[in-house]
Amino acid sequence: MAPGSGGGSRTQTADADRRALVALGRVVEPPATALVPLVDALGAAQVLDRLRADRLDGVTERQARAYRARLGLVDVDRDLAMAARAGARLVAPGDAEWPDSLDDLGARRPLALWVRGARDGGLAETVERSVAVVGARAATAYGLHVAGTLSGQVAARGWTVVSGGAFGIDAAAHRGALSVGGMTVAVLACGVDVAYPRAHEALLSRIAADGVLISEVPPGTGVTRGRFLERNRLLAALSQGTVVVEAALRSGARSTAERARELCREVMAVPGPVTSPMSAGCHEEVRARQAALVTDGDDVLDIVGRLGADSRPERRAPAGPLDGLDPEDLRVYDAMPLLSPVPAGQLAQASLLPVADVLARLGRMAVQGVVEPAEGGWRRAGREHRGRRG
């Protein structure tokens, strides 16, 4: 229950639990697999009190020592003030904003989230229809184009694009969504007030203004390799499906795809040039039948969306000039040389059809613009003939 939503001791308890969640966020490195079940059972405030009193059951002695060693780092008022300066807020399990999809992580669920950005409808509503778009940092021009275009298509249809704010595919995905006025969420491996990478300071500020930044680590926290890897589980859990645009055989993007599969989420991959190492991971995902092949936003929403409402429009090849011809029309057409006009009688002999029938067919095909009379005979119409003649 959020502070101020009830009266007397219930409000005080809720506030104490929220402050304890802030403190525990400094004490434990995500994921807090040992603490989440205890917090669910006892409440965050009681877990913190027991930790301070050195009587916290349910964790190993080694874990307890590591937690207590970090208690000196705890300054709840400082963290709340840093969040307030950044325009961020704490979203905890049980809040209206909390995305229930994160609970699928079980004990690997975040203790809480720091959220900076759009509030209309809250975070839960923002990610209710969302797709994670991930891929290589050292992306190719092809990958950047596909990620931006696909993300823009998804966002234009009212879906949220979730990514990690990193170089390469992540940045292209965020920019693609923003370019069409869509919603995007960046899941960070650092505090929501930290611009990482530094070159993305403007992009992250734009996402904070028009989208959402979220992190499970406290304000002011920097990045580590482990935090990047653990961040991937949040990307997978928040979204209805994960699209891998470019990924080498070993990559963090494939780690996100694996987390999505573990959560029974849809996994999709974009094909690339067969000679590109940056697409080798995508090709392996598809080859092993662990990911669906997608090429654009329609493909993605056809897989993760609602039946009917988000189904992909039927794709048809562009109509060709010969599409309306029946088999006997085609016999007459195929009997025509590419370069020279030919009399109807000769076409009748070649197609084994009566001359009258051939003339009737030639007349209909002339109306359709397929053939044309020329020099006392008939020839194929169109640019191909004129180009060869000219």
Give the CATH number for residue 375. Answer: 1.10.10.10
CA distance 277 to 256: 19
Amino acid at the residue 97? E
Please report, for residues 44, 68, 209, 273, 324, the alpha-carbon distance to residue 304 in angstroms, rounded to integers and kept in the order given: 35, 44, 27, 25, 37
Give the pairing of strands 377-380 and 371-374. antiparallel
What's the pLDDT score for residue 389?
36
Angle among Cα 49, 96, 311 to the nearest 5 degrees reads 135
SS3 call for 369: coil
What's the number of domains the chain is made of?
3
Identify the pLDDT of residue 174: 98
Residues 23 and 142 in one domain: no
pLDDT at residue 12, rounded to an integer: 59
Q: What pLDDT, on a 0 to 100 scale, did the predictor assign at position 54?
A: 87
pTM for the structure as a whole: 0.82
Shared domain for 270 and 170, answered yes or no, is yes
Number of H helices and E strands in the chain, helices first, is 17, 11
Does residue 312 sit within a domain?
Answer: no
DSSP state of 28: S
368 domain residue, yes or no: yes
Q: Spell out a b/e string for 213-250, using b for 16 or more CB atoms within 10 Å of the CB, else e.
A: bbbbbbbebebeeebbebbbbbbbbbbbbbbbbbbbee
Residue 120 and residue 249 in one domain: yes
Q: What is the pLDDT of residue 308?
A: 65
Within a domain: 115: yes
Residue 111 shares a structural domain with residue 47: no
Confirm whether 2 is domain-assigned. no
Average pLDDT by stretches of 10, the chain with 390 residues: 40 82 95 95 95 88 89 94 97 95 97 91 94 97 98 97 97 98 97 96 97 97 93 97 96 95 97 96 96 96 82 75 90 87 93 94 91 90 49
- Give the pLDDT confidence score for residue 13 in this predicted structure: 55
Which residues does residue 130 pair with via DSSP β-bridges, in sequence order?
160
Domain for residue 149, yes or no? yes
Q: Could you tell me which residues come within 8 angstroms of residue 287 by beta carbon, excluding any fewer than 6 positions away?
A: none
Q: Exposure pattern of 159-187 as b/e (b: 16+ CB <10 Å)?
A: bbbbbbbbebbbbbbbbbbbeeebbbbbb
User: Is position 128 within any domain?
Assistant: yes
> Do residues 276 and 136 touch, judged by C-beta distance below 8 A?
no
Which range marks the domain in which residue 118 is found?
A: 100-304
Secondary structure class of 313 (helix, strand, coil): coil
